[in-house]
């Protein structure tokens, strides 16, 4: 009977160690997933900023072209 009790306590100890290891790796996996999510959010933010900057640049070039065309029209009107 003493052997059964000894084995039972050893199994409980082993189970607890296994549970601790599973919990440890589960926590590490959650940390890795959260880090990946943070990287994804930063990448999306960076792409958004790049897109907005590109749009602003295009808008300013379009505005510049429109102003130049208006100046050409004004010059033509003044010539007549």
Map out the domains of the chain as residue ranges: 27-79
Q: Rounded CA gap, 24 and 50, in Å?
A: 39
Chain Cα centroid distance, residue 1: 59
Tens digits of pLDDT across the chain (80 residues)? 455 555 555 556 677 888 999 999 999 999 999 999 999 888 888 888 887 778 778 778 888 888 888 888 888 888 86
Tell me the helices (H) and strands (E) count for the chain, helix number first.
Answer: 1, 0
Q: Rounded CA gap, 60 and 51, in Å?
A: 14
User: pLDDT value at position 39?
Assistant: 92
Chain Cα centroid distance, residue 67: 39
Assessment of whether the complete model's pTM goes beyond 0.75: no
User: pLDDT value at position 61?
Assistant: 80
Residue in the structure block whose two tokens are 């290891």: 21
Q: Rounded CA gap, 38 and 53, in Å?
A: 22
């Amino acid at each position: 009977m003493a052997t059964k009790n000894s084995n039972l306590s050893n199994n409980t100890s082993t189970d607890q160690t296994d549970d601790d290891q599973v919990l440890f790796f589960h926590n590490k996996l959650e940390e890795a997933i959260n880090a990946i999510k943070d990287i994804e959010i930063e990448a999306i933010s960076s792409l958004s900023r790049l897109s907005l900057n590109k749009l602003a640049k295009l808008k300013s070039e379009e505005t510049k072209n429109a102003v130049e065309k208006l100046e050409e029209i004004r010059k033509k009107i003044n010539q007549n």
